[in-house]
Each structure stands twice: as C-alpha cells, then as structure tokens.
A and B are shown apart, each in its own frame.
Chain A
Amino acid sequence: SQELEQSPQSLIVQEGKNLTINCTSSKTLYGLYWYKQKYGEGLIFLMMLQKGGEEKSHEKITAKLDEKKQQSSLHITASQPSHAGIYLCGADGGYNNNDMRFGAGTRLTVKP
C-alpha cells in the first residue's frame, strides 16, 4: 500500500499570510491529488499532478510535485477565511492498482 504523510496536522494562520502543506510518500507517486474538504461535506478536487517537477496553480493555490515524485507541496498565497478547511492529499496506486490512499489531512484555520 502507499502510505502518505501529511504535515502539518493543523495550521492556524492570520489572513493574508502564506502557508505550505506537505505530502510525502513512501513510494513513487503515479498520480498525486489535492482535495479540500469542509467539515461534513464531500471532497472538492483542487489539482492533480503526475509528472516529476510539475507545478499547477489555481487562483491563489499552487501545488508542486518534486522530481523524484515522492513529495508534493500545496502553497496558498495571501490566505483568506474561505481557504479554511481540511486539505487532503491522495495518491493513486498506479494504472492497474484500483485504489487511492490519502494522507491524514491538514486542518487549516485562517484568522481574520
């Protein structure tokens, strides 16, 4: 199985500050997904990374996958209260491995 470690477990930042969440895998990642979840709701897809060194951005959120494809980071610039929630990274087991594993999540609180 693919174990994912996410850090930090929780994060409290002042509105307007930048922050980074990390996701580390014990194995090479075939597909790395970032999701956001508000409490008690379904997951909202943010971004998917597949290639080593790949970087994607959506609004003020940027996700990167390192060259070795074992670590990903999610960076939020100028955080806002709307960014608050739980951020989960998920890793695809590979094309013929039909499941996805998740990190434990990072709970982000943005103080106005």
Chain B
Amino acid sequence: SQTIHQWPATLVQPVGSPLSLECTVEGTSNPNLYWYRQAAGRGLQLLFYSVGIGQISSEVPQNLSASRPQDRQFILSSKKLLLSDSGFYLCAWSPFNAYGYTFGSGTRLTVV
C-alpha cells in the first residue's frame, strides 16, 4: 500500500534561518507531488507541484522553493525565513494517471 511521510511535525525557526521540509512517498511510482500551505481565510493554498523528477511548477511567487531530487521525494526550502512563512504545510501526492489525493500529516512551522 502507498504511504506518505512528512516531517518534521512541528518546527520553530528564527527569522532569517533556512528551512527544509521533506516529504516522501512509498509504494508507488511517478506520483504527482504537491506542497500546500494552510492560510487563514483562504483554506489550503497550492504552493508547488511536480509531475516528475526535477520538474517543479510554482503557483505563488514567494520566499519558498521546492525541489524533487528523486521520484518519490519532494522538498520545500527557504534560504531565509520570514515571519509570514509561519503556517501549516501539507504535502500530498496523486497517481500520475488517475484521480485521488493523499495528504501527509502536515508540518506546523512557527517563525520567531
């Protein structure tokens, strides 16, 4: 069966520090991968999605970047965190040729 792992669950980082959130999927190949952020009043906001290794589509220009170094690994990064980067980040995957999304358990990031 397929599983998705996201870590860490919680993170407190100072302003200006770097960020790296990791998401991995098991039990499937060539998944579509997504990073979402939960913004107050806007529900979930799509940040990045990837349909393959090295392929990243950005939805919102901001202080964050994403990378997909391996087929089932998706990383969300920042070189210098801002206070406004605080929030709840969710990773998700979907099959490349079918419907259906599965979400990770999320990371609560607090920038102080």
Contact = CB atoms under 8 A, between A and B. Distances in A.
6 contacts: A30-B99, A31-B99, A33-B101, A42-B105, A90-B44, A103-B43
B20 to A, nearest CB: 19
B9 to A, nearest CB: 9
Nearest to B55: A98
Contact of A42 (B43, B59, B106): B106
A56 B49 CA distance: 29
Interface of A: 4, 6, 30-31, 33, 35, 40-43, 45, 48, 50, 88, 90, 92, 95, 98-105
Interface of B is mostly: strand
Contacts of B34: 99-100
A100 B33 CA distance: 11
A50 B102 CA distance: 17
A40 B43 contact: no
A107 to B, nearest CB: 11
**Which of A31, A35, A43, A92 has its CB near the most chain B CB atoms (within 10 A)?**
A43
Interface of A is mostly: strand
A50 B42 contact: no
Contacts of B94: 98, 100
Interface residues of B, number: 27
A75 B81 CA distance: 41
Interface string B75-112: 00000000000001010101000011111111010000
A41 B106 contact: yes
Interface string B41-79: 111111001010000010100000000000000000000
Contacts of B106: 40-42
Contacts of A30: 99
B8 to A, nearest CB: 13
Given A42-B90, A42-B104, A99-B59, A88 B99 contact: no
Contacts of B49: 98-99
